[in-house]
Amino acid sequence: MSRMEYYVLEHDRRLPANGANLAFPERMLRGYGHAEQQEIVYVKPGNSLTSSSLIEHPILLVSEELRAIINKQIPEIAYKSVIVMDLKQQGQFDYAWMDFQEIACLAPDRTETDNGQVHTIWVDPEALREAAIFQIPYYRSRVLVARVDVAESLLRKSLYGLRIRPIRLTGGEA
């Protein structure tokens, strides 16, 4: 396996998670290919939205600012626009649903976690060869992972609500 460093891009857990507060259209929940090019998502009544760079569940959404930075480095990643409407606060927030490449977790039973955070995950080293940023489906969630050069560029931007931490990707015989 190569010596390339990888980092998890995740929602900063010191902030409230937004995903459960949002009502997604059924077509979005069926998958990226079923969604329209522009979607509107509403904050559920009685809830509010804390604006941050990443919404993780049930669909991985990135802020428009984060999307622009990623697309500047990796322009071939397709995306769909998602407007999150918060009627209570009378605001709208622009997000993107990016079509990140998926790399399979080869040995979920050998994945190392601590307090729900994945620290080591088994993947196919050949799948990483060209991938600068990708997602790894892991049980009922997705881990968004970036190569060191992408992670460094994001760290320089100080994006609100985005946490970047190292992850060990290992491969070989599972």
Query: Per-residue pLDDT for the chain (174 aa), expressed as one digit of tens each?
Result: 446 799 999 998 888 778 889 999 999 999 999 999 999 999 999 888 888 899 988 999 999 999 999 999 999 999 999 999 998 888 899 999 999 999 988 888 888 888 878 888 889 888 888 889 999 987 767 889 999 999 999 999 989 989 999 999 987 554
Query: Rounded to whole angstroms, how far apart are CA atoms 52 and 149?
Result: 22
Query: Rounded to whole angstroms, how far apart are CA atoms 62 and 114?
Result: 24
| pTM greater than 0.85 | yes
Q: How far apart are the first and last CA of the chain?
A: 13
Residue 54 in contact with residue 71, Cβ under 8 Å? no
- Given this model, what pLDDT does residue 2 score? 46
**Distances from the Cα of 160 to the Cαs of 35, 78, 83, 116, 166, in angstroms?**
27, 23, 18, 22, 18
**Distances from the Cα of 30 to the Cαs of 5, 112, 171, in angstroms?**
33, 29, 30
- Given this model, what pLDDT does residue 110 score? 83
Residue 102: how many other CB atoms lie within 10 Å: 13
- Given this model, what pLDDT does residue 133 score? 95
